[in-house]
């Protein structure tokens, strides 16, 4: 399988790989305990399955965690952080409430395992320089053909490619013809 085939989804192709990091609430060294550390890893893996993203790697330090996740293009990193934090916090409090009580003693509705902040950085398969070169070549690439026939499922409709990045899709052309037809 190629990189593109492995990352094909229902309505598109793409990948979104992120390095995520966040801290425990009050930077307590919760994960010095091996059992809590193992439970946290299990919670991360289960949240990946439940919320349909791929957990590439994770590292659990005593007071913070690092994750490398591969997201569907429809998911934002902030949404995934929220889902993982919520799921793992709930699971850990259910599984090891007695051990966590010495760090977080609030009522059940007010307690939280994780701090409010987060760090997120994208990780790509190309460098920034390669992306810049690709973008610089787009105007000349699109200027080569002003007219290109549409895909076979839209026979008889032409897509116009303008060097100023204004693209008229088949739907826009059809709707403008219908609108113009009403005025003629």
CA-nearest of 20, 25, 23 to 48 is 20
- The band of 160, judged by pLDDT with boundaries at 50, 70 and 90, is very low
Give the tens place of pLDDT for each residue, 5-46.
778 888 888 889 999 999 999 999 999 999 999 999 999 999
d(C-alpha 172, C-alpha 165), whole Å: 15
Both structure tokens of 49: 């399955």
R_g of the chain, CA atoms, integer Å: 24
Under a CB-based contact definition with an 8 Å cutoff, are residues 7 and 14 in contact?
Answer: yes
Domains of the chain, start order: 3-126 (3.30.70.1290), 142-183 (no CATH)
- Cα three-residue angle 69-72-77, rounded to 5 degrees: 55
d(C-alpha 89, C-alpha 100), whole Å: 10
Chain centroid to CA 178: 38
Give the tens place of pLDDT for each residue, 73-132.
889 999 999 999 999 999 999 999 999 998 998 877 788 999 999 999 998 877 878 878
Is residue 56 classed exposed, middle or buried when 0-12, 13-18 and 19+ CB atoms within 10 A define those classes? middle
**pLDDT of 68:** 94
pTM above 0.85, yes or no: no
């Amino acid at each position: 399988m190629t990189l593109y085939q492995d990352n094909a989804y229902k309505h598109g192709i793409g990948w979104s790989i992120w390095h995520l990091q966040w801290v425990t609430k009050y930077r307590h060294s919760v994960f010095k305990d091996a059992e809590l550390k193992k439970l946290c890893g299990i919670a991360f893996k289960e949240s990946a399955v439940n919320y349909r993203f791929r957990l590439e790697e994770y590292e659990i330090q005593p007071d913070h965690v690092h994750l490398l996740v591969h997201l569907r293009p429809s998911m934002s990193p902030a949404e995934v952080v929220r889902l993982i934090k919520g799921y793992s916090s709930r699971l850990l409090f259910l599984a090891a409430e007695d051990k966590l009580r010495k760090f977080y003693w609030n009522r059940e509705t007010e307690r939280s395992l994780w701090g409010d902040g987060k760090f997120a950085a994208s990780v790509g398969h190309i460098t920034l320089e390669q992306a810049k070169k690709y973008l610089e070549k787009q105007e000349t690439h699109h200027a080569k053909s002003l007219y290109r026939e549409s895909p076979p499922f839209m026979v008889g409709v032409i897509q116009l490619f303008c060097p100023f990045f204004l693209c008229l899709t088949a739907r826009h052309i059809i709707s403008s013809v219908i609108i113009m037809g009403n005025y003629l």
